[in-house]
Amino acid sequence: MIDFYTWNTPNGRKLSIMFAETGLAYQLKPINIRKSEQKQPEFLKINPNGRIPALFDHETGQRVFESGAGLIYLAEKSGQFFQQSQKQEILSWLFWQAGGLGPMLGQYNHFKSLKDKQAYSEKHFLCESFRLLAVMECTLKEQPYLAGKEYSIADIMCYPWASSAMKGFTQSHPQHVQNYPFLQGWLNQIRQRPGVQQGNAVLAELSQSLY
């Protein structure tokens, strides 16, 4: 059995989707980040960085932290969505998301929410967010999935952040959303997958029940 420590965030939804897609058994361990439970000593033994999501596999005694590492671990354990023929492309997109899309969108949301606005910072991270979404757009114009012809953990890694971003930008910057038709088509295709719907629903119900 795998203990799955998480909360309803884009990073948390990566692994909840992966569990639903693979059918691997797990025990949900809610970590309420609004109450700083990720900073408690018990959790820091699982992830010394104090962030969700994280895993502990009782079968192997292995802890796994960082969402990309978690996706690779579950993919290798299940034998799914980490195709050898696409391996390097998949790894490239995982690192791209971890170092680019997630941090840039996160920083934009941070500066956007400040009462004491910092116009330069907000604009900088907004422009970088649009640039990164354009990278996805150009790729998806040429192929159905990020790493090639098959759905993989590269798509699972990027989907929650891209979905949240496009939903927010539809409201705040609707004039820009029309620049990403292939990204929109990819998002629509991914969100129709039963595993994605189930993975999203598990964490949505979790956070609603604990507020």
What is the spatial distance between Cα 182 and Cα 203, in angstroms, rounded to a whole number?
A: 27
Predicted local confidence at residue 114, as pLDDT: 67
Contact 149, 83 (CB under 8 A): no
What is the spatial distance between Cα 58 and Cα 37, in angstroms, rounded to a whole number?
A: 22
Mean pLDDT confidence for 173-190: 92
Mean pLDDT confidence for 41-48: 96
Is residue 111 very low, low, confident or very high in pLDDT (cuts 50, 70, 90)? confident
- Is there a single domain that holds both residue 92 and residue 108? yes
Mean pLDDT confidence for 118-147: 91
- Is there a single domain that holds both residue 175 and residue 188? yes
Q: How many domains does the chain have?
A: 2
Contact 28, 6 (CB under 8 A): yes
> Which CATH number does the domain housing residue 150 bear?
1.20.1050.10
Q: Pseudo-torsion of CA 202, 205, 206, 209, nearest 10°?
A: -160
> Which CATH number does the domain housing residue 42 bear?
3.40.30.10
Predicted local confidence at residue 57, as pLDDT: 98
Q: Between 134 and 110, whose confidence is greater?
A: 134
Nearest to 102 by CA among 152, 145, 162: 162
Is residue 117 very low, low, confident or very high in pLDDT (cuts 50, 70, 90)? low
- Is there a single domain that holds both residue 187 and residue 203? no
Domain membership of residue 66 as a residue range: 2-80+195-210
- Is there a single domain that holds both residue 109 and residue 179? yes
What is the spatial distance between Cα 146 and Cα 154, in angstroms, rounded to a whole number?
A: 6
- Is there a single domain that holds both residue 28 and residue 122? no
* 75 pLDDT more than 70: yes
Is residue 101 very low, low, confident or very high in pLDDT (cuts 50, 70, 90)? confident
Mean pLDDT confidence for 10-34: 96
Residue 4 — φ and ψ, nearest 5°?
A: -115, 105
What is the spatial distance between Cα 111 and Cα 105, in angstroms, rounded to a whole number?
A: 10
Q: Between 105 and 71, whose confidence is greater?
A: 71
For residue 168, give every residue at least 6 positions away whose Cβ sits within 8 Å of its Cβ, in sequence order, or none.
109
- Is there a single domain that holds both residue 92 and residue 189? yes
